[in-house]
Amino acid sequence: KNEVEQSPQNLTAQEGEFITINCSYSVGISALHWLQQHPGGGIVSLFMLSSGKKKHGRLIATINIQEKHSSLHITASHPRDSAVYICAVYGGATNKLIFGTGTLLAVQP
Amino acid sequence: NAGVTQTPKFQVLKTGQSMTLQCAQDMNHEYMSWYRQDPGMGLRLIHYSVGAGITDQGEVPNGYNVSRSTTEDFPLRLLSAAPSQTSVYFCASSYLNPRGWDEAFFGQGTRLTVV
């Protein structure tokens, strides 16, 4: 079993829909990251969080440390949101990031 | 501000050849790392560095060497390429945060094919 599990693996949505991507992890962490990888391959950091909730534009990330779970929400989705969304946790004991396998999101007009 | 510059973007090697993937950052980040990305798997750490002169192995270090002679540069060397090293490689850098990784900046990736 992977230490970081994402669901769903693939997601197709219609423009305007509310989208949720989930991330569960099994290790103790000090921080969790959400990353976005566009079809061209580049990876950008969206959020780093260790508690509560963060919001940036139409993106919202939440984390529940007790349940070892995080969600990434996209409100009013748009085709330009189509990308792979990657969850990664910083396992303090290992001093390394552990990545999930990603969620491929396609938003259709 | 160029961020993280990774070259080349594409490379085809023959089995047994060697090459160096270049990674440079201009943000004075202490932490630099190399990952490989394979279909169906998450990014896997090859090697990392927490400062000039300091490097350490990640999850999949075999067949790769690194050095960190300056804060800015962190090249990845493939000593004798093998088809199993066909992958997409990413370099990343960040400040070191005592609570964990700070915001990470990634290079554009190198798509390497070993034939």
Q: What tens digit of pLDDT does each residue of B67-80 get?
A: 999 999 999 999 99
For A68-86, what is the mean pLDDT? 97
B104/A97 Cβ within 8 A: yes
Residue B83 backbone dihedrals phi, psi, to 5 degrees? -55, -30
Q: What is the structure's pLDDT at B67?
A: 97
Q: Does A13 touch chain B (CB under 8 A)?
A: no
CA distance B93 to A96: 13
Please say whether the beta carbons of A73 and A89 come within 8 A: no
For A50-66, what is the mean pLDDT? 94
B104/A35 Cβ within 8 A: yes
Look at A67-76, B10-19, B77-86, B101-110 and tell me which has the smallest mean pLDDT.
B101-110
Q: What is the structure's pLDDT at A54?
A: 95
Which among B34, B20, B27, B31 is positioned nearest to B107, based on CA atoms?
B34
For A30-46, what is the mean pLDDT? 89
Checking if the pLDDT of B25 tops 80, the result is yes
B45/A86 Cβ within 8 A: no
Nearest CA in chain B to A46: B103
Q: What is the structure's pLDDT at A93?
A: 59
Q: What is the structure's pLDDT at A92?
A: 56
CA distance B89 to B58: 14
The mean pLDDT of chain A is 91
Identify the band that residue B98 occupies on the pLDDT scale cut at 50, 70 and 90: low
Q: What is the structure's pLDDT at A9?
A: 95
Q: Which tokens in the block code for residue A104?
A: 């491929």
Checking if the pLDDT of B66 tops 90, the result is yes
Checking if the pLDDT of B1 tops 60, the result is no
Q: Which residue has the higher pLDDT, B115 or A93?
A: B115
CA distance B78 to B66: 9
Q: What is the structure's pLDDT at B101?
A: 62
CA distance A63 to B42: 20
* A96 contacts in chain B (CB < 8 Å): 45, 48, 58-59
Q: How many residues does chain A have?
A: 109
Q: What tens digit of pLDDT does each residue of A1-35 get?
A: 678 999 999 999 999 999 999 999 998 787 899 99
Residues 6 or more apart from A65 whose CB is under 8 A from it? A29, A50, A51
Q: Which residue has the higher pLDDT, B10 or B97?
A: B10
Strand blocks (E) in B41-97? 44-51, 54-57, 64-66, 76-78, 87-94, 96-97
Look at A83-87, A95-99, B14-18 and tell me which has the smallest mean pLDDT.
A95-99
Checking if the pLDDT of B21 tops 90, the result is yes
CA distance A76 to A18: 6
Look at A24-28, A75-79, B49-53, B89-93 and tell me which has the smallest mean pLDDT.
A24-28
Nearest-CA distance from A40 to chain B in Å? 9
CA distance B34 to B66: 9
Q: Does A99 touch chain B (CB under 8 A)?
A: yes
Q: Characterize the bridge pairing of strands A103-108 and A10-14.
A: parallel
CA distance A23 to A87: 6
- Position B111, amino acid: R
